[in-house]
Chains A and B, each alone.
Chain A
Amino acid sequence: MEILLNNLLSWIIWFPLIGILIILFTNRKNESFIKWVSLITIIIDTILSIYLLINFDFSKTGFQFVEKKHWIDFINSYYFLGVDGVSILFIPLSTLTTLLCILISWDSIKSMVKEFYLALLFTNIAMVGTFCALDLVVFYIFWEAILIPMYLIIGIWGGPRRIYSTIKFFLYTFFGSVFMLIGIIYLYIKFGTFDYTILVNQKYPFLVESLLFLAFAIAFAIKVPMWPVHTWLPDAHTEAPTAGSVILAGILIKLGGYGFIRFAIPMFPQAAIYFSKLFLVLSVIAIIYAGLVCLVEDDLKRLIAYSSVSHMGFVTLGIFSFNPIAMKGAILQMINHGIVTGALFMCVGIVYDRTHSRAISYYGGLATSMPIYAAFFMVFTLASIGLPGTNGFIGEFLILLGTFLSNKTMVVFGATGVIIGAAYMLWLYQRVFFQELNPNVAEMLPLKKNELIALILPTLLIFWIGLYPNIFLNFMTTSVQNLLMNLR
């Protein structure tokens, strides 16, 4: 226990390596063994991450579970990990997302199974690592490392336009990251360290601070993605296999929001405040703009992809309002969005596996042929439009209420997204599930066991967070307060 607790973060990050090693030395024909190994590996990893939650101390202000070991001494870079209230919830979210991906891909990935599960496990390592890293080199490595398996997942197991989409995805996000890398190198040259806890307390001339902020912000804004650098997302989502979309929606785009809260804002507070108006406006544009695109979208996956842009607009709205209630809401909404949109992508994947069509007009009356599936989809739809009692409401309510206290105009415009959101989601639901049964979908296989489990897990979380969010909100209380206090 002692060894585990002292290095808990390392355990969670690196535990999937065991699975990777076993799979590497397994014959590729032995597919079910490979699947089971990766499933069990991730289940254990998820349990470890829940163990992390249980051992978190709510009252402490700084980082917990800190590990600092010598690594690349000659550039003064350490293997430095730690979590606080901002990052901790993303770790179980990452492992859970990978778990869902394994469940939902169980039967739908048929080619190169071994490589697929290796890529998933590798993604999990990189995702968790990114949320734990407190050394900028370690952070940057994990941050970029995610791109490799994601590039492969989209490029190999994706849809017809997968090559275009995956290259676009890679170059787009890589383009942003380069600016961040320049920023990191500048900081190193100036202060001789990559240690986040030291760098966060530095003061800069305003111009330098602004440039540094923008360098980091471009990387994060592309990841979120904020308007107008969002166009990689619909393509990547649409062409990715279901698991790829779930990881994209669940974790990858959360890295952007997390990056703002962890790095860009606390390290460069003056610049963050100076540019906050701009980011608020961009957020509101994203909410409305992407929502309007959703209204006229006729591809299931593209619609949900654009809805992600709209929902992440709420998140960045909450972040840049610099209000503690809104900030809490923004972090929670990232978790919510990961659960709900991930679940929606799984739902699309489930019918895509059966029909191989993403066109909304291909469907109709699905509630008649797949009633249980329809019920799950309804729950996710309601969570997505923020109905009270579901998690989506808590996030949106806290974000809008908190932002209202600091900036009323933005909320008036942003809240129209709630109307548009209801319109496009319910219209989607109507066209897919209601009306006369479309002969295309008259005979549908019922949900399989793995699919059912993959849908039940997010459903439970949706109602748990919706009805009793305080457990989750309490994690953030001290850290968010601390963060915003340093800002003033």
Chain B
Amino acid sequence: MSRLILIRPIHHSSLINLETQNAFMKSTATNKVFHILKDAIRSNKLIFTDDLAKISRGLNSPDTLPLTLSSKQIICKGDPQVSSHFFKLWYRILKFQTNRLKTTIKTFYRLQKTSKPLKNAKILQALDLPTPAFQISRREVVESHRLRIVKSKLPQLLLLTLIFEEMIIPIFHFFPKLGIRPLLTTRALRQLSKSYSFEKRVIKNDNFAMSPYHLKTGELEALLKTLFSCPVPNWRITLWSKLNIKWRLAEVLTDIHQFLIVDDWLLLKDITNESKEISSISFNELVNFVLERQLFYNGEDLNAMVHSEDGRNVLIWRLICYLSFKFDQVGSSSFTEKWGVNNVSILNFPGTKISTDKIGLVTKQHLKYF
């Protein structure tokens, strides 16, 4: 029964306070994880880069994520003169997109052949032991999860390809929800991200300590539809909700919640690993991290932010605050002891408050605190 007893509420005193500089210093003074991550950033142990040659292989899987720059920007970056030739530019863009489609299909085909079918509950159980039962990298976990999302979209993708043939890429551009994630353009991602923003969160974190079954069917449906990492298509969620099959919805939510814990945990372990000199995270992984955890306000263009100095810093500190809140006072094996693995009230909780009782995110004006 330990899991049931050890589901803990969120204490607002333990949040990172962004109200004033002093309040911020006070709230982070005892947070060990925050200082470890801050030191890692300061000493360049943790770096964020868009250079694919420099990124850590066990941490990132950039091929399974959309690009942070548009195809036009990438082409013009390599050859600035091409932008003045209209037809040449569009020919290059089409060629680039076709290549991208080819590599994406190849990547997911390879993943389908090689990835291990492991449940998140099983991984969490193995990682929670004092000596983990098996070694698994973050890359393997996220790849298998992204493969599941792509697989769930395959039937509609095939159907659309049959109907629209070569018009499929423009259709994805204008209706991003239909497309598969790695092929999304920057505009499409910006459009798509609107449904997953911080304001859309269903759990408002004032109801403490709850398992997925504590939520009503309607709430579960709404919550699953606002989670970027949900591997089940929306029509199926609506169907389950209409038929009132609550356990299916609750199990999907449990799975997503556990995936996020595993992902966070492996990322943190990699960063805090002393034997490793540098942990480098790609820009699109950073964007995806922020998207999956709803750590952005509506209207923010994450791809543009990640390429500007200030915007990137905002995203990085959001990530750090999120991890520091979640894993503060947690040893190598006791996350379950602190929160309980199935306590969904900390799902997508940013870990920061902007005033005495208002939860909010790090913005540009808070950057001077760090």
Q: Do A and B come from one complex?
A: no
Which residues of B come within 8 Å of A, CB atoms?
A: none
Which residues of A come within 8 Å of B, CB atoms?
A: none
